[in-house]
Every structure is written in C-alpha cells, then in structure tokens.
Structure 1
Amino acid sequence: MKTSRPLHLALVPLVTAMVLCPVGAAGQAPDPNDPIPSDPSVIRGTLDNGLRYFIQENDQPENRVELRLVVNTGSILEDEDQLGLAHFVEHMAFNGTRNFEKQALVDYLESIGMQFGPDINAYTSFDETVYMLQVPMDDPEALATGFQILEDWAHGVLFEAEEVDKERGVVIEEWRGRRGAGARMQDQQFPIMFEGSLYAERLPIGKPEILETAPAERLRSFYEDWYRPDLMAIVAVGDFDGTEIEAAVREQFGGLQGPADPRPRITAEVPIDHPPRAAIATDTEAPQSQVGVLYKQPPAPRGTIGDFRRSLVEGLYSGILNARLDELRVQADPPFLFGFSGQGQFVRGVDAYQLVALVPEGGIERGLDALLTEAERVVRHGFTETELERQKTSARRSYERQVAEKENQESGALANRYIQVFLQDYPYPGVETRMELVDAFLPGITLAETNGVAQGWLAERGRVILVSAPDKEGLETPTEEDLVGVFAAVSGREVEAYEDAAADAPLLPVVPEGSPVVTEASFPDVGVTMWTLENGVRVVLKPTDFKDDEILFSATSPGGTSLVPDDQYARVSFASAVVSQSGVGDFDQTALRKKLTGKAANVRPSLGSLSEGLGGSASPKDIETAFQLMYLYFTAPRRDETAFAAFKAQQLGFLANAGASPNAVFSDTISHTMSQGHPRVRSLSQVVEDLAQADLDGAYSLYRERFADASDFTFYFTGAFELAAIRPLVAQYLGALPDLGRVETWRDTGIDPPAGVIEKSVYKGLEPQSRTQIIFSGEGEYSREEANVISAMADILDIRLREVLREDLGGTYGVGVGGSLSYRPDEEYRVSIGFGSAPERAEELSAAVFEEIEQLKAEGPDAETVDKVRETQRRTKETNLRENRYWLSQLAAFERMGLDLNQIPSYELIESWTAEQVQQAGIRYLRTDQYAKFVLMPEQKVP
C-alpha cells in the first residue's frame, strides 16, 4: 500500500500524458469541434446505482486480469479531525472485511501466486483512492474471488477497533519513513504553492497526532460518507471474454447502495490568479539544489479533436526546448545538471507549465538564468525549421511505434489509463485513431504557432518560483528579491538567436565488409540458434513474437575493470560512462542525438567489474542503425574533452552534499564494512576525490583496450526478427569487429565479506527514524539448485517477517529480504534483511527477526508459506517466459555457466525444492556466529 504524492517539480508534458484520437470520413479534414472518439474495444457502462465500469480484452500478459476499484475520494474530503484517515481507511481494507478476516485476503491471493506489493496494492492521493489486483485466469474461482474482494473493499470493510489499533503502528511507520529533507522542504513550500486551497492542508499521509488517536468510528464515518457507488468505478483488463466479465460486474456490484442523503463531493480550488510568489526551502540534509518556475493555468480542455491538435503543438514546443536544455547540460561548464520543460496537470482542476533545473551548489541563480534565457530566446527568435522538422519526425515515430505494438499493450497500463478516464473524463481513443490524427495534423503545424506557445505560458500571474537547497555553512541561498532580479536581468539582456548545427554526414562513413558465419548450432526446443563468425564473435539468437516492435540485445566479454591494478582503478573506473556521454565517430552527443532523430535504436557500452559489453534495443525497422552503433562503439569511441568536463561537473554536482543524507552515510558504512575497506569500494567522499584526479587519457585507453578484441565477445539477441533477415547484418557489422585472438578471463580482486559477528550503529539524521540491515554472508558452494533454495528461503522469510513485524507487532511499514548465491568471482552466499522503524523499537524488531530465524531453523517453514512461495515462483516464471528481457538475461546466464539452454523454460527447480531443504539452508546460512547488523539512528541517541 502506498500513498501517492503530488508532483510539483516533475510534471509530464501533456502530449505524452493524454491518450487521444481519430477523424471523420476518408479524405475529409477532421473537424476540430468533434469529440475524440472512444476506443471501440472498451466495454463501458453505468449501473443503476451510479457505479461505472470499463472492461477491455487484452492478452498481455497471457492468462492474467488486472482489476481496479477506483474511488473518487481522497484526503481532500477529510474533515479536520480526519487528516490522514482516507489513507488509513485504505490500509484497513486489508485488515478484515465481511468475507475475509484479517490477513485472509492477502493469504488467499498469495496462495494463488500473487505477490503483496507488485500484484496486490492500493494508493491514496489528494483526490482518489485506487485498489489494484492482478489475478490468474486459469481458475474461475480465482476470478470470482477477485471480484468478491473488490466488492468487500467497496462496502464491506469492518473497522474492528482492535484491528484499527494494531494498524496504527503500520500507518505511523509509513508516515515516519516518508519524513526527511524532502518532506521538511515540502512543508515549507506547500503553503505558498497552494495558498488559499485545501491542498495545502490535506496531505494524504496526514498528521501523526490524528493517526495515533482517531477512533475507529471516524474511519468508519469517512468510509460510509465517501465509499459509495456513485463515486466508484470497476476496471477490468485482461485475457478474458469481455461480455462475461461485464455480466459478472453487473451481478457483483449491482446491489451496492449509497446513502439516502449523500454528502456533496466538493472540488478543492487552487487560486491561479495571484501575484508572483517564491517558495524557498532549505534543509541541512538536502542532498542537492533545485530551482524551478511553476506557471499555474486553468485546466486545458481535452475532449475534442481540436484539443488534440493543440496538445500536439504544445508537445512539439516542449520537445524542442528540452533538446536545447539538454545541449546546455553537456557543456564543459554546464549551468545545471539537468533541465526540463513541460506542461500538464498540477492537481485536479489546475494545469501548470514548469521550467525545472537541478543545479550545482551555489548555482541556483545561474541555473534559473539559463532556464529563463532559453525560454526568452524562443519568445524573441523562435525555433528553427530544422528543429521543428526533427521534433515532428520524433513525434510521429513515437505514435508509429504505438501502432506497431497495438496488440501488445500491457494490461496494467491500460487499466491505469481508465482510472483517469473515470476520474477526470479523459478521452480514450485507440492507437489507430491517434495515428490518423497525427498524420492529419502534424504536417500542417507551423513554426509560428509552435513558437507562440511560450507567449501564453510565461505569465507573471500565477507564477511560483520554487527553490530547494542545502542549509550549510558558507552556502548562500538567494532571496526572493535575488530571484526576481534574475527575471529582470534576462528580460533586459540581449539574447542571440539559436543556431542549429546538424551534420549531414553518414553515421558510418565506410560500411565494413565483415566476415561470414563459419559454424552454426540450434536448439529447436527453445527456438535458439548460435552462430560463430570468422573473427571469433559468437552470436546467440532467439526470435520471438512477444512484441512486434522490440529487439533487445547485449554483448559480454570477460575481464572488465578487474584487470586494472587496484592503484589505478579509481582514476579510470568511469571509462564507459564518459564514452557513453561522448558520442561516437564524428558525432558528439548532441550531434548524435540529432542524427538519430526518428530512429528507435540505442546502444550503451558498459565496463563492469568482471566483464565489458554492450546493451540496447531497437525497433526491427532500425536494427541496422543499432548494428552500426555497436560497430562504432568498438572501433570509433570518442575522446571528448568537453564531454569529460561535463561528466565531472555533473557528478560533482550530484555528490557535493550527498553525505548530508542519513541513508547515504548508512549505505557507505555498510559497503565499507562488508568489503573490509577494499580500495575498489569507494565511499561518497572518496568518489569526489577520485573525480578530482580522474584521468581522461587513462579512462579512454582502458576502454579502447577492453574493446580492442571482439573474438571473445558473445552477442545475444531476442525479439521481433527473422534469422534470415538479421544474418547479413550480423556478418557485416559484427563480423567486421577486430580480432586479436586474445584469451582472457576476469581476475578475483579479493572483495570478501568479513568473518564473525559485526554490529554497528550509525547516528545520523534529524527525524525520529531508524533503519536496520542484517546481512548473513560467507563462503558457499554454488549450484543452481542451491541458489534456488536460498532464493525460496528469502521469499519465505519475507512473508513471515512481514506478518510478524508489520501485521502482528505493527512495528514497520515493510520488510525486505533478499537471498543469493554467487559463483564468481567467489562462491559466496548473502542473505539481507532490512526494515525501518521507530528508533526505540529497532532492537525489539531485530530480536523478533532472530526469533523467526531460529524458528525456521528448528521447525522449518510451514506448508502454507511453502505453497505460497512455490506458486508465486510458478506464476512469475509463467509471465517471464513471454518477456524478451527475461530470455536475454537467461541466455547470457546459462551460457556463462555452461548450462543446457533447453532447461531455461523448465519448472523443475521450482517444483523440486522442499521445506526440509529450506530448513537446512537456514541452518547453513543464517548463522548467529557469522552476520553483520547495522542500525541507523537519529543523531541524538535514544535512551
């Protein structure tokens, strides 16, 4: 369960947020006054009691249905003595209903393979509460029970006083976990941003004093007032017969009744016609500085075809401006670390345009100046025709890809789409309609109207300047007067027109001849083919039909930074990051971005601790471009002083005050301790020192050396390709990669966990927060079977510790347990258990963890939990086997370990582990004489 937070510095441009569409008769220009047609594949309706429903057949993933109960109520509707109770009500929906006792609901869903969190969840925001389920479709009982759960949530939550009191601790811990520098600065800014509005006073997380004391009757009162059918919708998207689901919805929810005299559902207003304001917030634990300008706007209409055209124009404006901001980011001395321009919904009933920048320490005024200057440059001089055409090409390509994948849309994404259709009456056309509209409108959009967008957005009325920064000695934070002065300075300054430099040269000046495939092997049971090229390059390919517009690939070779001497590691370890930021061949990063306009192809080089390689993706239409990029990253990486300077400036900007974060200091302590202070495991302060001594020549030489020989590389491809079509490209580009015939492997650099028992406390932070991390680690003996048993043991512990620490003791919001067994560079096990809590309860909860571990070792896991974990493994594998990314990772892993690829789809490991093996694993790995325990406490010790 989660509480969503309002976005005030990261809005999504409207053109990407809106789901829009189609036109009139063939050959006719669309009428801008016509409504946007709805997707005809969606079954929708309204019951007599006012409840609405949206149903869509969709088989991605297969054999699954996504269910949503959407309630048009949130924290904005709370009374003064109910602050936080909208969210508390959401929690109580999992703690006892008419048909499910406390925990029975989650128990049942876990028994059919669904996971608490990914598949079973809910959120509460200012204006809505949404409950989410994913349910398998191969058992009619599971679907029927899923609908029964939704019905219980809609009108059958019990609010038993004992359960309310037990859940208080969980809700308080969620509130506690959200506190910190960001929350404290939000507390300073929200009253200014939302002045005159209930949004300033109704944060969904609420107030702890009310959460701690509110009687069950006040939760029940909120529930009875606002959980009613006229404020609800059911969404179902999945692999089913839509007419059958519609009948089930009508039968299940038709009997719901609302109150005879319902309270009016108010809409909270946010004043937008106010003089300019500034909301400046500082905090001693703030890791970075940020500046932005928020321009509040009336909500833009979204329902007509003309509205779609307007949003398309606005999207072109934001896209071009963001490209310009990105060019500033990669300068040698960038004015900001990241810059963004975008328009979209701020809160319900209010839109906003934003200019936002993450800036180096002391760079707030300079960053603001850069944002405003670029906006002013557009106002005075406009964009160029070449910029507009590139952005049109990118926009059309994006819609084109959506059409290509129209049969492969994820059910979860579609279900979430209909949430906003219900809540805010958003249009919901099909992808073909959107493509029709784009083709009808995009060519006719002029430079003048794109340039004119800024004139309507950059208004003083409703403007709020937002600043957040560290509060530290020697760092001056600008005043409101200083910030207003930046606006005046920019408006009074001469601003030159932008010059668009785009290279016409081909990406690859000389196309290589390549070399042929010399050996082939096939694994027909899993649809995998292997080729070896004349230059030694190995290629493993699995064509799939999972996605129509997706090809994924990776490449790997043994070695990596392990072959760098320890005393040189820090100065050159960032080599692949700098090369990635430098472009390839004759194209720097900016020129490469422009050159690849309209191409869906990306390649990322990597230099890891034990291997080097590439990764990326491409549309089948653009796969040759991806091959050309792969070839260039081997043969023509750029040594770029400007990119290197920009990289250093960005990293130093990100890290300058990172040490003020309690969590960062805590993580540093864990890393340093678990590596026994190994020189390759760098703390934040050491990384800052490393950047000051970074060696571009050394890093570039390391990259060239590691990619100088492709003869020991293996490439993996999965996705929408045919072997006959991709073979010439493999031969031409991968077959042309350099072949030195080197025989290499990685080196064990000696990073090993400490022996014995280690317990450390870190005192850092202002909030009454604690984090505990318990790590069991040491030498092991690797096998796939044993690795699977450790993973199952971790999943079993995860469930049990959630039940004990969260549900029984109410001491934490969540527990995370992970377990793994490595086979390189050493055979080592690691089991990690982490949770947050009140400082005064950290030791109590740690003791409970060890008690549960001892019980596991003494008695083994109970049959019910074993069945839950095994079923979850089955369900996860079932969906994974239809994912290109899963096959890509498994092919590489099986190859690396020399395993039979035919075993990838096998469920044998899932079916074969036993409760006794888990018990023995607990005895073997969860040793009380071999663990490290770390506790983060506030700076003032708790007695």
Structure 2
Amino acid sequence: MKILKPLALAFLLPFGTEVASAYVPTGITPEAKIILATDSLKLDAKLPFDNEVKTGKLANGFQYYIRKNTEPEKRVTMYLAVKVGSILETEKELGLAHFLEHMNFNGLKHFPKNDLVDYLQRVGVRFGSDLNAYTGFDETVYQLPIPSDDPEILKNGLQVMRDWAQDALLTTEEIDKERGVIMEEMRGGRGAMQRMRDQYFKVMLNGSRYADRLPIGTEEVVMKFDPEVIRNFHAQWYRPDLQSLIVVGDIDPVQMENEIKRLFSDMRVPKTPQPRTKYKVDLLEKNQFVAVTDPEMTYTIGQIMIKHPEEKIVTVGDYRRDLLKDVFNSMINSRLSELSQSANPPYIQGGVDISGFLGGLDNLGAFFVSKPGAFEEGFKAVVRELDRFQKFGFTETEFKRAVSQIAKNNETSYIERDKRKSDSYVNTYLAHFLEENPALSNEDRYQITKQLLPTLTLKEVEAVGKEFYVDKNRDVIILAPEGEKDKLPNEATVNTWFADIDKEELQAYDDKVSDLPMLAKEPVKGSIKSESANATIETKDLVLSNGVKVVLKPTKFKNDQILISAYSPGGTSLYSDADYMSANFAGNLVNGSGIGQLNTIELQKYLTGKQVNISPYISERWEGIYGSTDKESLKTAFEMIYGYFTAPRIEDDIFQGTISKQKDMLANRHNDPNFVYSNEMQRALYGDNIRRVPYNVEELGQVNQARALEIYKDRFADASDFTFVITGSFTEDEIKPYLENYLAALPSTGRKEEAKDLKILEPKKAVENITRKGKEAKAMVRLSIYGDYDYSEKENVAVDALETILSNKLIERLREEESGVYGTGARFNYSKFPTGRFSFMIGFGTSMDKYQSLINSAIDEINKLKKDGPSQVDLDKFVIEEKRQLEVQLKENNFWSSRLVSAGQNQTDPTYVTRYLKDVESVTPAAVKAVANKYLNTDNVFKFILLPDAAEQKAEAAAAAKK
C-alpha cells in the first residue's frame, strides 16, 4: 500500500459530465472547439477532455472511462478507483480503509477465500507486480492488468472489478487471519523515518486531520476491532457514487461499455448516504519549525516548505502557468546540480520544486541532504541560490535551455503517441476522477504545449518563482541522526540565517557555456569488413575494419528510440586488490566528468534539448557503454561514444566532490540496522574481501585520481574485443555511416583478454548469524544456499519454475495460512562464468516470536517440493505466466537489447528466445523436483537473522509481560 499519494499533480479539470439519462457518453466536448485551428489560444477557455475516451455515468452515480489502446496488444488494464481513504475513518476505524483493501483479496462473492489470487495466477497474472492495490488518505485504488484475447478471462476480470466495488464477503474468519498480515506490514514500516514522521507530521500538515489518519492505522484498532465495524464502513462508503472504473487496452469500447452497464447498474446506493466530506489543510499564516532526531537515522535532511493555496489546472491559462512553473523548476535545479558538482559541494544532494502538496495546497519545496556536521553550510547554500534568483533572476541562456528541453520532451511524447502504454492513460484518467485533473488527448497536449511555449517569457517565469518564494506559511523541517542533535540549529538560529543571507552581497549567476565542439578533431573513418544475417531473430552481425563487432536489431516497437549497449571482457577482475577501489570508481568518475573539450557543466548544457544519454561503465567482469538516443541525436550519441574511448577525463572537481560525498554518506551508516545486518551478512560469506563487503573511509582513501583514469584508459584502449548491440527504430542505411565514422575509427590493438576468475566463493559449510541492531521489535530473516550450477537452457527453465512455484507456496503458507508475514518469496540466481554457480534466497520480515517457526515452515515447503514435486496446477501457473510475459517482452527494445547482450556475454545461442516457450511448456513436475533435490540442500542453509538490540528486546519483553 502507498502511505502518501503522489504529490506532483498532473494537468486536471473537473469531470463536468451532465447526466441526462442513465449514462452519458462524452464525445468531443464544446471546449474542444477551441483546439488550435488558429495560431493563438484563448487563455480563459477550458481545456478540452480527451475525445478518444468513452466516458459515462450510470443512474446510480457510477462512472467509467473506456479507451481502446493496443500497446501492449492482447492486454487490458482495469483500475477501480474509490474516493474512500483513511481520511474518512473515525477513531474506532483507524486503518480500516486499508484493511478493507486487503479484504478485497480475501473473499469476494464470486471468488471466496483466496480463490481470486489463485484464479488470476492460473491465467498469467502475477500477484503483487500485476494484481495490486493501494490505500491513500483520500482514495483506494485497485489495479488489474489481464489478457484481453480470451473472452472468458475478460469477462471474469470485469466480475472481479464488480466484486471489488461492492461484494467483499468480509467473513470473520478471513478478517481475523488478515490481522496478522496487516500487523507485519505495519511492523515492516517501523523504523527511524516512521518514528520521526510521527513527530513532524502535525507541523507539516498544519495540525489537520491528515496528520492523524495515516492509512496503515493503529495496532490497537487493527488487532481488536469488531468485524461488524469494517462491514459497516464497507456498506457506508463502497458505493457507486464514489467509484469509477477505468478500462484501457486492446478491447472493443462499445462491447465493454455494454458489459459495464450490465454489471454495475444494479449496485446499491444507501437510502441516506453519508456526505463525503472533502478535508483540507488550512494555511496558518505563520512560519513553523521542527527538528527531529533518531538514533537510527543515517543522514541529516533539511526541508523548506512554503505552502500556498492549490492552483487547479482548468483553463488554457492555468496550463500555461504550469509550464512557467516547470521552466522555473528546471532552471533552479540546474543551478543546484551545478553547485553539487563542485570540488567541495555544500551538500550531498539538493533540489527545489514548485508542485502540488496535499489537502488543497501547493508548495515550493526545497530540500538538501547535509554533510555531517555541516547543516548550516548546506542550508545557506540552498537558500542563497533562491535569494540569488530573487535578486537577479535567471539568464536568457538558462531560460532558452529549459524551454528547449520541455519542447523536446513534448515532441518525443507526440512522436511516440501511438506507442503510448495503456498504464499511462489509466493514470491520466485516474487523476481526472480523483483529483479533477485535466485529461488532454495526445494531439491537444502536443498542440497546446507547442503553441504556448514560445509565448512564455523570462520575466513571467521569474514572477512565478517570486510568488512562491515568500516568507510566510513556511515550514523548516530538520531530520537528523541522534548524534547530530547538539549541532542542529533552533528556530531563532534558522531565522538569523535567512536574514544573514538576505544581507549578503550576492553576485549574479554567470552562465558559462562553451562554443567548442565536443571532439577536438573528427575521427578517421573506417569501414565495415563483413556482414551476416540471422533471419530467425532478424538481426545482422557486422565486423568493422578495426575488429569491433556490431549486432543490429532494427525494430518498430517505438517510433524514435535507439538503445546502444557495448561490452568487452576484463573489468575490475584484471586489477589487484590494491588497485580495486580506483578501478571500481573509474567508470563513474569518467561518466561524471566531461568529454573531450567540454567539462561536465559544459557538457550538461550542451546536451540540454537533446534526447541522448550515453554512459561508460566498468564492472567486475566487463567494461562497456550503455545508453539511448533518438534519430536526431544519433551523431551526438556516437560522438560521445568516440569521446569516452579516445578523450576521457576525470576532472579535479568531480573527483574531489565524489570522494567527499562518499565519505559523508559513510559517516552515519552504522546507525541503520539494515546496513549493519547486510554488512555482517556479507562478511560472514566473504570475510573482509574488499570486492564483496562495503568499503569504509580508509578504503575509500585508496581511490587515486590518476590511477583511476589510467585504468579506465586501459580498459577502453582496445576496441577490437568490444561488441556493440544496437536496437530500435533505425534502418541499416541510417546507422551504417555512424558505424563507419565513429565505431570503426575506435583505437584497436588486437589484444586478447578474458576476465579473471577471482575464486571468491561462499563457505561450503553453512553458518547461522544473528545481528542485533535496532529499536523496533521485529525480525528480518534471510535463508540462503550456495553452490555449483550446471548452466544449460533446460536447467535454467526448471530452476525458474522452481523459483516461481516456491514463491507462491511461501505466500500461501507464511502469509495466508500462518498470517506471519506481509511479503516473502524465493529468488534463484545463476551464472555461467567464470564457473557455473547459483545462489538461492528466501527473505521475510516478521515478529520476534514467530521468526523461528516461519523459518521451519519455509524449509518445510522446500522439503515438500523435494519429496513430492510441484502439482501440475502449480506448474501450469508458471507456464502461463512466462507465456503471457513473453508476449509483451518480445515487443520491447529493452528486452531484445538485454537478451542479445546476455547471449553474447554467456556465449549462448541468441535465437533461443524463439524456442524458449517450447522448453517452458515441456518442463515437468519431475524436472522441477529434480532441480530442487539437486540444489536445495536444506541441511546446509545459511541463516541470517536481524533482531533488535538486546536492551531493546529485553524492554519489549518486559512491556509485553505487563500487558
């Protein structure tokens, strides 16, 4: 569940559909007539509603949005939105809106008990990643993406939505079973941030009702409420006038509308429905301050929130004003980003944003992550940049770059409009229903934005920023480690800082932009030496004159997206432990610096308005390049690739700033129980091996700037063993000139290299390791098994089936039967090189009194699979899930890029993807049972357990005894 709804508001507009009969389809609204037949827009005209959506309202008040969209094909996404969240709860109902969300997965009229999850898994819908829901302050939303090519599945999917809307069974038995699950979700969220939130929320939310209505609720209510209370809550609030169904996908809208009217028209409306109060966060017309510390907090965060009445986006003028805010956000954050890349950055991270908040408010929010002991420096740096803007404004060059980036994003979205995913449409209509946000068509959004952007002026952007950056309704919130408490300012000190900065003689910002080209000289063109086609997967393999290999996979999955990945064997494995830290940081340091003649700041400004991102990397066994571009920026992308090979740099400021930030981030990490737990786990497995355990400040000091650049240059000195995989919307004729001009021009020495086998293996004999750290009375468990692996296509499929089946069984046993966990699952990772190895893991969080019994239950589920194998029904769930996932993945550039790179690195047949489903469909229960017995030795399970500090555990036990 989501504790807070997204705070950034999209473009919104009231629903505004007048009801003349049982339902009213909405075609082109009268407002749509304004659209863009002329060169100028009427700023007071209402924004038009998306005319490609079929909308309506039934006589009982139930609303719907239906849109046909074939991305992805044979799929439909359905959302049921209910304008009911925790804000409506009474004191005796705290947490029941969220509890009710859970109960809608635990017994419906047509899907009693756990039949819903079981049925959907049998048709290929994954629980958690596909089938899900969330509860917020003001709404509860259920999501169901399902196949649309099977009429029976589509029919049942709609029935699920209808049952969710009003037909939860809410049996006492299932309610009592779910109490433990909710408690584990609540327990999992406990920690430093939750404890601090409880202290600062009342300030941040101005003492409003929202501060006392967190969706998770309270333990007292969750564990003790009378089932009749939640039944009454359901009857009172789950009603058609507060609900909407959103359906987007590869469906027939007319047929879908008829089915919705058939299923939802009979929904009951209470005779005397309780008014749905819309709660607000009132402005207090004063400034507030709160500083909160916690012993488990690992860094200090400063936040300045300046609250304002919400500005709804209803008219074209409202939309234009929102664009002005976007431009302001872009410009101020570019300055703060530049500041963070200095040799001695004043903060670890910082940002400013004008956006929506909560309860009828917007806000200008500024935040920064402080360096240890340097809160004043970070605070003043952020405020100083806001004051600098206030006194001097922005430059015309900054303004033009920000507008060009928004224009580019607008063009990119428009180009891809027929490839837009159904989920993004669903979220637009969800915001329209819940928040009265506008829902523009692709055409309207593009045209309105395109026409409005040239009308924006720098003075208007500055005026908007100054309207929001004021000294009223301002909150200063500080969250810090307990150890920093004595160093934190009080409210009077912070007010003095504001005044001091106001008196400073600030200088106007100097926008330094280079006129130099990225590369000092053009590459010497090479040639394509050989070509061969792979008709099975429609790829082409090329060898260039310098030995570089290229795999081309032209696609039509996107209209203008090109992915580029390159790899070469070697990586950090070729360097000694003494050089490891320099080698490990080399790729990131070069990536953070400039290229050729442009330093990092100049490069960032040069790339503004371009849809391109290219990055080098060095991992343990590989070095390479990854990134993406559109056709317009292809030349820039290949210039960057050539530059990263031939003109890399590690700038002094970037090196010093990176190391400084890393040291600052290490300072308080041992406050965090999860870090201590992970650190002890890694050390139990790998001793003090610097390549496997978290590095400390002393080891960080081993990073040498000159050596890091030397190692980087060594890794990219010879392109002859590099393979480039290029996937996406290009033709061979379009891409080949870039291959010849840039890739074939890369340096080549013809050296032969392989990554080194470091022989870093886990102990053969398992250990049990208990870490004691933390205040909260909860336990974290990780069970692991390691060993040699026989890597092959069929073995991999059987192991993948084992992972899915065991994960499902663990959910059924540990969550649904024993009510002991909120989430759990099994993970089986395997590798081919340097030698075949696997790692298996089960993880979960629970209460201290249950962790041992749940460990036993988890191991028991493994042993059941080893003894009996899976049922055919459980195996069929895996088969249909893989089939349904592959249907979508085969039409994704990212999938093909990843598969082609993986095939090259693992030296496997890239055409296997076309035979994969045959192996999936032929896997048997016996094969899964065999790999379970082969790899899952339950007599040699590593057990890693996190418990609270001994003193905290003793205090908890004493408190429990008193109860």
What TM-score does the superposition give when structure 1 sets the normalisation length? 0.97
Please report how far the alpha carbon of residue 273 of structure 1 lies from its aligned counterpart in structure 2 after TM superposition.
3.3
1:195-274 equivalences under 5 Å are 195-274=206-285
Question: Which residues of 2 match residues 904-919 of structure 1 at below 5 A?
Answer: 904-906=913-915, 907-919=917-929
Q: Deviation at 1:18?
A: 13
User: Displacement of 1:625 after TM fit?
Assistant: 1.0
Distance 1:133 1:654 in 2: 40
Q: 2:637 aligns with which of 602, 606, 626?
A: 626
The correspondence for 2:930, drawn from 920, 923, 932, is 920
Preserved contact between residue 676 and residue 752 of structure 1 (Cα < 8 Å)? no
2:447 to 436, 445, 461: 436
Contact preservation (8 Å) 1:857, 1:922: yes
Instruction: Pick one of 43, 57, 62 that aligns with 1:51.
Output: 62
Q: Where in structure 2 are there 5+ consecutive unaligned residues?
A: 16-30, 958-963
Q: For 1:773, give the aligned amino acid.
A: R
Counterpart pick for 2:882 among 865, 873, 897: 873
Q: Which residue of 2 aligns with 1:5?
A: 4
1:714 to 720, 723, 728: 723
1:540 corresponding residue in structure 2: 551
Aligned to 2:24: none
Q: Does 1:933 align with 2:943?
A: yes
Deviation at 1:21, TM superposition (A): 9.8
Per-residue CA deviations over 1:74-121 (Å, capped at 9, x if unaligned) read 000001101011000000001111111111000000000110011100
Q: State the partner residue of 2:866.
A: 857
- Provide the rounded CA distance (Å) in 2 between the counterparts of 1:669 and 1:196: 42
CA shift, 1:523, in A, is 0.8
Q: Secondary structure at the match of 2:742?
A: helix
Q: Once the 2 structures are TM-superposed, how far is the Cα of residue 676 of structure 1 from its aligned partner?
A: 4.0
Q: Give the match for residue 910 of structure 2.
A: 901
User: 2:481 & 2:11 partners in 1: Cα distance?
Assistant: 34
In the alignment, is residue 399 of structure 1 matched against residue 410 of structure 2? yes
Q: Deviations over 1:615-642 (max 9, x none)?
A: 0011122112111111101011113111
1:336 is the counterpart of 2:337: no
Alpha-carbon offset, residue 254 of structure 1: 1.1
Superposed counterparts of 1:72-111, under 5 Å: 72-111=83-122
1:479 aligns with 2:490: yes
2:369 aligned to which of 358, 377, 385: 358
Partners of 2:684 and 2:289 in 1: how far apart?
44
Cα distance in 2 for partners of 1:620, 1:817 equals 42
Give the whole-Å Cα distance in 1 for the aligned partners of 2:651 and 2:466: 38
User: Letter of the aligned partner of 1:5 in structure 2?
Assistant: L
Q: Does 2:170 correspond to 1:159?
A: yes
How far did 1:643 drift? 0.5
Residue of structure 1 in register with 2:49 after alignment = 38
Are the aligned partners of 2:77 and 2:143 in contact in 1 as well (CA < 8 Å)?
yes
Moved over 3 A (4+): 11-25
For 1:184 and 1:930, how far apart are their aligned partners in 2?
Answer: 38
User: Is the 1:14–1:315 Cα contact (8 Å) retained in structure 2?
Assistant: no
Question: C-alpha displacement at 1:458, in angstroms?
Answer: 1.6
Matched, 1:368 2:384: no
Q: Is the 8 A contact 1:790 1:821 kept in 2?
A: no
How much has 1:173 moved relative to structure 2? 0.4
Partner of 2:536: 525
Structure 2 letter corresponding to 1:235: I
1:121 matched to 2:121: no
Mapped partners of 1:897, 1:746: distance in 2: 12
C-alpha contact (below 8 Å) 2:806/2:825 kept by paired residues: no
The equivalent of 2:797 in structure 1 is: 788
After TM superposition, give the deviation of residue 913 of structure 1 in Å.
1.6
User: Equivalent residue of 2:828, what SS?
Assistant: strand
Report the equivalent of 1:761: 770
C-alpha deviation, 1:875, in angstroms = 0.9
Flag the 1:186–1:474 CA change in 2: closer, same or farther, 3 A: closer
Contact 1:320/1:387 (<8 A) preserved: yes
Deviation at 1:6, TM superposition (A): 5.1
With the length of structure 2 as denominator, give the TM-score of the two structures.
Answer: 0.95
Report the CA distance shift for 1:25/1:17 in structure 2 as closer, same or farther (over 3 A): closer
Aligned to 1:170: 181
Query: Secondary structure of the equivalent of 1:86?
Result: helix
- What amino acid is aligned across from residue 181 of structure 1 in structure 2? A
Does residue 280 of the first structure (1) align with residue 325 of the second (2)?
no
- Cα drift, residue 671 of structure 1: 1.7
Cα gap change, 1:645 to 1:825, in 2 (>3 Å): same
Cα distance, 1:441 vs. partner?
A: 1.8
Match of 2:747 in 1: 738
Q: Say if 2:12 and 2:435, in contact at 8 Å, map to a contact too.
A: no
Residue 475 of structure 1, CA deviation = 5.6
Query: What letter corresponds to residue 191 of structure 2 in structure 1?
Result: G
Q: Secondary structure at the match of 1:452?
A: helix
Change (3 A) 1:517 1:172: same
Report the more deviating stretch, 74-83 or 460-469. 460-469
Partner Cα distance (1:830, 1:909) in 2: 23
Q: CA RMSD in A?
A: 1.7
CA distance in 1: counterparts of 2:787 and 2:233, whole angstroms: 52
Paired with 1:747 and 1:45, the residues of 2 have a C-alpha distance of: 64
Deviations 1:754-801 (A, max 9, x none): 112211110011011111000111112211211221121011110000
Instruction: Kindly state the Cα deviation for residue 372 of structure 1 after the two structures are TM-superposed.
Output: 1.1
Deviation at 1:909, TM superposition (A): 2.3
- Structure 2 counterpart of 1:703, one-letter code: Y
- Taking structure 1 as reference, are residues 475 and 334 closer, same or farther at Cα in structure 2, changes over 3 Å only? farther
Distance 1:15-1:604 versus aligned 2 partners, 3 A rule: farther
Q: Secondary structure at the match of 2:483?
A: coil
Amino acid of the residue matched to residue 2 of structure 2? T
AA matched with 1:237: V
Report if aligned partners of 1:756, 1:929 keep a CA contact under 8 Å in 2.
no
Q: Determine helix, strand or coil for the equivalent of 1:548.
A: coil
Q: How many residues align?
A: 937
Correspondence for 1:562 among 573, 582, 586: 573
AA paired with 2:445? R
Change beyond 3 A, Cα 1:554–1:855: same
Counterparts in 2 of 1:778 and 1:697: CA distance versus 1, 3 Å: same
Q: 1:410-432 CA deviation, whole Å, 9 max, x = no partner?
A: 11121122111001111111222
The sequence identity of aligned pairs, in percent, is 36
Tell me which amino acid in the other structure corresponds to 2:937.
Answer: R
Q: What is the 5 A alignment of 1:459-608? A: 459-472=470-483, 476-608=487-619
Task: State the SS of the aligned residue for 2:202.
Answer: helix
Distance in 1 of aligned mates of 2:135 and 2:484: 39
C-alpha distance in structure 1 between counterparts of 2:663 and 2:252, whole Å = 55
1:181 aligns with 2:192: yes
2-side partners of 1:107 and 1:448: how far apart? 59
Provide the C-alpha distance between the structure 1 equivalents of 2:524 and 2:914, rounded to a whole number of angstroms. Answer: 37
The gaps in structure 1 that reach 5 residues or longer are none
Deviation at 1:14, TM superposition (A): 6.2
* Amino acid across the alignment from 1:454: G
Number of the residue aligned with 1:839 = 848
